[in-house]
Chains A and B, each alone.
Chain A
Amino acid sequence: MNASVGIVHAQRAIFDTPLTFKSGAVLPRYELMYETYGTLNADKSNAILVCHALSGHHHVAGYYADDPENVGWWDTMIGPGKPVDTNKFFVVGMNNLGGCHGSTGPSSINPATGKPYGASFPVVTVEDWVTSQARLADLLGIKQFAAIMGGSLGGMQAMQWSLSYPERVRHVLAIATAPHLTAENIAFNDVARNAILTDPDFHGGNFYEHGVVPTRGLRLARMLGHITYLSDDAMADKFGRSLRSGKLGYNYDIEFEIESYLRYQGDKFAAYFDANTYLLMTKALDYFDPARDYADNLDKAFAAARADFLVLSFTTDWRFSPERSRTIVNALLHNRRNVSYGEISSAHGHDSFLMQHEHYHEVMRAYLDRIAMELSA
């Protein structure tokens, strides 16, 4: 039953209608990379949009014919017989604007200058992403999504859909997310950004033309981020105080296993991720705050929503804690929206939403089965 969607193909959508960002900046033309799994039904009512988090992209499930090791980032969740069952749903994954996996972003060539956008790429907000995603939906002929789902920053996009386009989404699945970042969360992001911004190879964001990459900054940013995505217990379990060589070296080389792991993660990330995209993504996280336009009243912000909601959090997630999810749930309750909330016991911190976890997947399966039943009703 839990099979892979198999070989998938990335597609490119080209948009010639200018997009005005929340900041006022305008992008005259842009491209979005996307993948789809399953079959869109005749009345186009079975589509699910999967929004990605900070380092995600359009390759959500399946693998590529020429790269079978490259499995989609949410393949545990999406496929035939999986919680998001591609035998029932038409699933769309995309790389957000400003990304570095093929959609137009800071590393893309600006046709006006013939050089990469670099620092001149507009600062993107969650609202801007949702606008661009709606244009992709238009292109695919999807007037209304059966569901829009995402974890973390992806959950913010799913929620924003219910506010920007209330009639275009029937269910929002907001996982390990928050109605806005806390000061502590913004602080982590700012340290990460500073690591990149102060790297001598960053060149004010225009490092492409210097033929260098701010690798040191990027890997520091990722190492810091990675710590916050795990839990104290998970780290203790996995690494404890284990030493690589079994004895103390009295120097600054890699000694503890956790150091080795973090540096490996940092190096891996810095080898493929774009520094400007990292800056943009963290800024989008910091800016997201639908209550801001309503005198910080989240109840009023959600008054526009028409969707039903599933909100999930993880007990050891301290970056997007259960309390942050309960704030979302309360605002939905105050608006009499249909909402269910689950607090998943997991040892793996914020990263739990990406992991295989029996009860978490059972909750998702139960909710998505209900959506599938509505389709056939």
Chain B
Amino acid sequence: MSAHDPAELAAARPDFAAIAAWIPQGASVLDLGCGDGSLLRYLKETRKIRGYGVEISDANIVACIRNGVNVIQSNLESGLSGFESNAFDYVILSQTLQATRHTEPLVQEMLRVGREAIVSFPNFGHWKARLNVLRGHMPVSDELPYQWFDTPNVHLCTLHDFEEFCDGHRVHILERRVMTGDSEIRLLPNLLGSMAVYRFKRAG
């Protein structure tokens, strides 16, 4: 099962390793839009977490079960009412934030259900994206592989946008990691980073 070798997965999805680095052993995790369950499986294998995924697609339900992770078939846009407040140590939204319609209430729900939340998303402020727009085109890249007409992404943002959003919504950012591929970007992150991971909690 080389496709699920933790080292290979971390190489394929650099945000996985970044997320795992923040999660302590044995934590409880809810992964929203968990896809085929790879991240949960990775966290189970590397962090011994107890977790659940929420996923809407039929094919991904089967994939999650085959990956040996718990998955609840549900539309996360309709809220997390099945989950009790503070039920999880971490609620994760990995590469999904930009594809959610009701982004604001979803972030609030994440912070109701989890003590902390982690999101990763493609940085629309990355220089390649800016260059594409300057040239008169919507950006298409590894992080944003869609054409304008078939993209699921409806709420793309830059690092600055996200941080402003947090400021205005009583969300306290605890940590940020900006990356391009698997290397960390410290200099001019909003320009040079193609992907960002944030850990945050309710302010005050």
- Residues of A in contact (CB 8 Å), total 21
- B82, A342: Cβ atoms closer than 8 Å: no
- A370, B64: Cβ atoms closer than 8 Å: no
CB-CB under 8 A from B83, the residues of chain A are 333
- A326, B82: Cβ atoms closer than 8 Å: yes
B50, B58, B74: residue with the most chain A Cβ atoms closer than 10 Å: B58
Is B72 part of the contact surface with A, judged by Cβ < 8 Å? Answer: yes
Is A366 part of the contact surface with B, judged by Cβ < 8 Å? Answer: yes
A345 to B57, CA, bound (A): 11
B28, B62, B64, B87: residue with the most chain A Cβ atoms closer than 10 Å: B62
- B82, A333: Cβ atoms closer than 8 Å: yes
- Across the interface, A329 reaches (CB within 8 A) one of B50, B65, B82, B87, namely B82
CB-CB under 8 A from B74, the residues of chain A are 341, 343
CB-CB under 8 A from A339, the residues of chain B are 52, 70, 72
Main secondary structure of the interface of A (DSSP, over half): helix
CB-CB under 8 A from A367, the residues of chain B are 65
The number of chain B residues touching the other chain, given as a range, is: 10 to 19
CB-CB under 8 A from A341, the residues of chain B are 71-74
A339 to B51, CA, bound (A): 10
A174 to B63, CA, bound (A): 20
Is A9 part of the contact surface with B, judged by Cβ < 8 Å? Answer: no
Binary flags per residue of B70-87, CB closer than 8 Å to A gives 1, else 0: 111110000000111001
Main secondary structure of the interface of B (DSSP, over half): mixed
Is B61 part of the contact surface with A, judged by Cβ < 8 Å? Answer: yes
A88 to B87, CA, bound (A): 37
- Across the interface, B84 reaches (CB within 8 A) one of A326, A334, A343, A345, namely A334
- B62, A330: Cβ atoms closer than 8 Å: no
Q: Considering the complex, give the chain B residue whose CB is closest to the CB of A308.
A: B70
Within 8 A of B (CB), among A300-339: 310, 326, 329-330, 333-334, 336, 338-339
- B72, A369: Cβ atoms closer than 8 Å: no
- A333, B65: Cβ atoms closer than 8 Å: no
CB-CB under 8 A from B65, the residues of chain A are 310, 340, 363, 366-367, 370
- Across the interface, A333 reaches (CB within 8 A) one of B58, B66, B87, namely B87
CB-CB under 8 A from B70, the residues of chain A are 338-340
Q: Considering the complex, give the chain B residue whose CB is closest to the CB of A358.
A: B58
Is A359 part of the contact surface with B, judged by Cβ < 8 Å? Answer: yes
Is B68 part of the contact surface with A, judged by Cβ < 8 Å? Answer: yes
- A345, B71: Cβ atoms closer than 8 Å: no
- B62, A370: Cβ atoms closer than 8 Å: no
Within 8 A of B (CB), among A65-95: none
CB-CB under 8 A from A343, the residues of chain B are 73-74
Is A362 part of the contact surface with B, judged by Cβ < 8 Å? Answer: yes
- A366, B72: Cβ atoms closer than 8 Å: no
> Which residue numbers of B lie inside 8 Å of A, CB to CB?
28, 50, 52, 58, 61-62, 64-66, 68, 70-74, 82-84, 87
> Which residue numbers of A lie inside 8 Å of B, CB to CB?
310, 326, 329-330, 333-334, 336, 338-343, 345, 359, 362-363, 366-367, 369-370
